[in-house]
Amino acid sequence: MTLSPGIREIMQKGPVIPVVTIEHLDHAIPIADALAEGGISVIEVTLRSPVSMDSIAAIAKNRPGMTVGAGTVLNPEQMKSAKDAGADFAVSPGAYPKLVQSSVDCGLPLLPGAATASEMMTLMAMGITAMKFFPATAAGGSGYLKALAAPLAEAEFCPTGGITPETAADWLALPNVICVGGSWLAPNHVLAAGDFAVITDHARACATLG
Ligand code: 3PG
């Protein structure tokens, strides 16, 4: 299996990858612009709403400076749809060989999820060293991931799940963490209110984390 390159470079674009569930298509561009205004150039749009794929397509087409990922990719069909929509990368909460193979077949960089040493070792055996540690807080927190740094020295992570502005710095201080993911930049209540300036404020605050 020849792995598609690029996910590590995307992880290095900033300390935080915002995870956003877009419920209204006309929010897609304002959200991307609000993040960009705050200095963030990567967005993960979860495939958890009816307009997710169209939102990814809108951002990919109209905001080429924004690196847009499809989140919650669970199967090869969604991988292909995300690629066709113009996504730059895909994120999955877990992984299995057919899913990884589909990312290779599409040429879509994948950030696959793993929560245990065995899951991480399985990915490493497939040639994957950049992973999403998910669900980061519930699976064991930063102490758990720190404990894996020595035995799994090649693995590098984007912890996601339960991370807050208050805890992000602890995660980013770990030697095996490149960036963190989180929904706190654009939470549902902020999106429901259409308060995009708040998203910019949250994005700006991330600059001091990394
Ligand atoms: C998700 O899939 O929703 C992400 O893991 C975000 O998690 P969070 O809402 O706890 O930041």
From CA 58, how far away is CA 157, in angstroms rounded?
A: 28
The catalytically annotated residue of 23, 61, 77, 132 is 132
**Active site annotation includes 132:** yes
Give the pLDDT score at 124. Answer: 97
- Looking at 59-68, 78-87, 187-196, which range is the least confident one? 187-196
Q: Rounded to 5 degrees, what are φ and ψ at 95?
A: -160, 155
CA of residue 158 to ligand 1 center, whole Å: 12
Q: How sure is the predictor about 55, in pLDDT bands with cuts at 50, 70 and 90?
A: very high
For domain 7-204, say whether CATH 3.20.20.70 is its number.
yes
Give the pLDDT score at 11. Answer: 97
**Active site annotation includes 156:** no
Domain positions in the chain are 7-204
Average predicted confidence (pLDDT) for the chain: 96
pLDDT higher than threshold 90 for residue 2: no
CA within 13 Å, CB half, 41: 8
Q: How sure is the predictor about 101, in pLDDT bands with cuts at 50, 70 and 90?
A: very high
pLDDT higher than threshold 70 for residue 194: yes
Cβ–Cβ under 8 Å, residues 1 and 123 = no
Q: How sure is the predictor about 3, in pLDDT bands with cuts at 50, 70 and 90?
A: low
CA quadruple 147, 208, 194, 66: dihedral positive or negative?
negative
pTM: 0.96
Using CB distances shorter than 6 Å, the residues near ligand 1 are 19, 46, 71-72, 134, 160-163, 182-183
CA within 13 Å, CB half, 210: 19
